[in-house]
Structure 1
């Protein structure tokens, strides 16, 4: 081998070794951040939720307290900059000069935590995604070699964060591919693969259980028409969710006073929580109640409650985000999909003699709504299968996720992440 070829080979090996180390480190830090935020939020959300159940008047206090603390932190600690969610990642990956500043890690960590534990009707997923993306962004600024791999390092952080939250390395990689990068290269798959490997290894070591462990025995072919209806309705409802978020953000932006925004947002959120406590926080406690119902009986009041939850949830999620809360449509989509699936199964069984299995519809509904809301059917498929730790419904979920996504896209081509006012000009 001639000297020049040898030098090139050595440089390529050094470059590869540095990229591997960077991916492993980003993966570990992102997984640790995601797991810490997940468990802290779950612990304190349960405490405050129990307090609100013993004394409903706490629901008047919690939202204004949470939004006020977030505002104070932003004003005095986080450079008076509002968090814009996943759009911040898009802005960074689209520009060679614009990077995610390091303060975005504590900003999204604390703001996401405070939003959910004090009743904000969203989840920590988007907060985790942006915080872990920032870890990748900071890593690429540390050495000139990494600058050409900014998108790959950001994607590695995001993939590891999603893996840690939902115990699904495939969903982590697919989310980074379908939503964040949309760029296929060997370097992308190498770095995201190593990052999720570290994250999944960490989950294995601590024996992290799935969020909704289920044992789904079977699904029936006679349920297929109802599955299709669920997919179409999920697509329609995802457009309603998207439009609500965009509308309330636009309207609240017209309010000059931050204090007025907080008071209006907290007031509306408190009223909604008093009437429908299922909407508190990320709503995973309410999904668990659907999966394992106690003393269930169909009645007009029960039907009206389900319909109210489906109609009001997009409104309170939008109000939470517009008034200063941190989060996105990830957890709300899972929540809405679960309730929509349960509603269709309940109506089918009670009024049409469908003889379908409600828990199957809850699971498929979660995936269908998430797929339609973020236009990522394969991410939704593997993520929800990992959430319940069961792949029995793999093929129905895949089909319905595609139906829901293209139904939503046919009606409105944007998600809350991809919409920009200039796209309509």
Structure 2
């Protein structure tokens, strides 16, 4: 009996040691991929956007060129298979036999980069999630001892990738939990804590700065009713984004010749970018510009029209980017929409009702609220946006707005782009 118990104990110890080692590797590789993709995207997007801003002709050429390159890469390099986004991760975690093939790592990394730097109105977040999930999936196939930890190792890769992008280990773990795993096991806790610790350590070593450098010092209790209003509006806008993505994907799916999709999609995208350059790529450049001058912006008819047009157009151009072959998702668009919704609400309230609220606060809260409602993950949104700004001053207003936006969205439409299953 003692010998059997000892053997079992030794086996459990070996299994634990191997889980720790593989989690370290997954965390490091996923973080390295996430940081590298983020750096490359920021660098090349800035260069190409500057060229397009200087010469509008590039706004016509970049989208069709980017989407064409992605199409030919998929056709000749990546086994002629379309990328399905996070749904691929769900399919893998819900199946014992279906795994994420290793080519998904370069496929999503390269295509995500090309989509954004050539003007596709989306972000690299979903590309990073699928690529890092694949790292976890490949790792779980290497040894029999990891077979039972498939979901945990996939989540470890995802958590490390999200940490690398947004400098928030808590957001990484919460996203893996709220969106992918939806359950906590001891292996989940061990693998994900190790992975995000390695990712955050790498960020610290590289001295990564927060994406948005903004000073948030206070908020006022009298603004609570306006936070609630913003939460409701964020929920409505998120449903509009979800509906747009689902609508245009279904319509473009009916176009049999893929290059017609590229031509139609790039034409709409080019015209939109020509009118509103803020829609180019992730759109973080536009958010930073407004954040740096938000207290100085008086609301005029032209500005209000611009903000409203961007709020209406962004979901459409994002949807068309994805439907015509671009690689990405709703993370960055949700943050973009939330920021512009927040500044518009604050400007209207200050101009017409003299509320004297702080516009930058509403931009940050709006970002979290729209993201929360878009992916039905309020706690991920809270810590992700706090990580983006490296500031937790607005934690409680963000918490309230995120919960309100999520349940507002669910009341209107129960699905997200991740959970929607088309009827056959």
| Structure 1 residue 213, shift from structure 2 partner | 2.2
Structure 1 residue matching 2:265: 3-state secondary structure? helix
Alpha-carbon displacement from aligned partner over 1:213-236 (angstroms, at most 9, x marks no partner): 222111011111111110000000
Deviations 1:300-344 (A, max 9, x none): 001000000000000000000000000000000000000000000
- Give the Cα separation in 1 of the matches to 2:357 and 2:57: 39
Alignment match, 1:321: 322
- 8 Å CA contact 2:231, 2:402 repeated in 1: yes
Instruction: Name the structure 2 match of 1:259.
Output: 259
The reply on whether 1:180 has 2:180 as its aligned counterpart is: yes
Q: 1:207: which partner in 2?
A: 207
**CA shift at 1:290, angstroms?**
1.6
CA distance in 1, matches of 2:89, 2:206: 30
Aligned counterparts of 1:74 and 1:63: Cα–Cα separation in 2: 17
State yes or no: 1:363 paired with 2:360. Answer: no
Q: Which residue of the partner structure matches residue 147 of structure 2?
A: 147
Superposition RMSD in Å: 0.9
Aligned to 1:304: 305
The match for 2:189 is 189
The Cα of 1:400 is off from its aligned counterpart by 0.7
What is the match of residue 218 of structure 1?
218
Within 5 Å, which residues of 2 pair with 1:22-421? 22-293=22-293, 296-421=297-422
Which segments of 5 or more consecutive residues in structure 1 lack a partner in the other structure?
Answer: none
- Take 2:15 and 2:224, find their aligned partners in 1: how far apart are those partners? 51
**Per-residue deviation, 1:296:** 2.6
* Alignment partners' CA distance in 2, 1:208 and 1:344: 32
In structure 2, runs of 5+ residues without a counterpart are: none
State which drifts further: 285-294 or 44-53.
Answer: 285-294
Q: State the Cα distance separating 1:297 from its structure 2 match.
A: 2.8
Q: Please, what TM-score do these two structures have when normalized by structure 2?
A: 0.99
CA distance in 2, matches of 1:171, 1:246: 26
Which stretch shows the higher mean deviation, 295-304 or 271-280?
Answer: 295-304
CA deviation string 1:355-385 (max 9, x = no partner): 0000000000000000000000000000001
Question: Whole-Å Cα distance in 2 between the matches of residues 259 and 218 of structure 1?
Answer: 51
Write the deviation string for residues 180-227 of structure 1: whole angstroms up to 9, x where unpaired: 110111110110110000000101111111101222111011111111
3-state SS of 1:421 partner: coil
Which residue number corresponds to residue 17 of structure 2?
Answer: 17
For residues 342 and 231 of structure 1, the distance between their equivalents in structure 2, rounded to whole angstroms, comes to 13
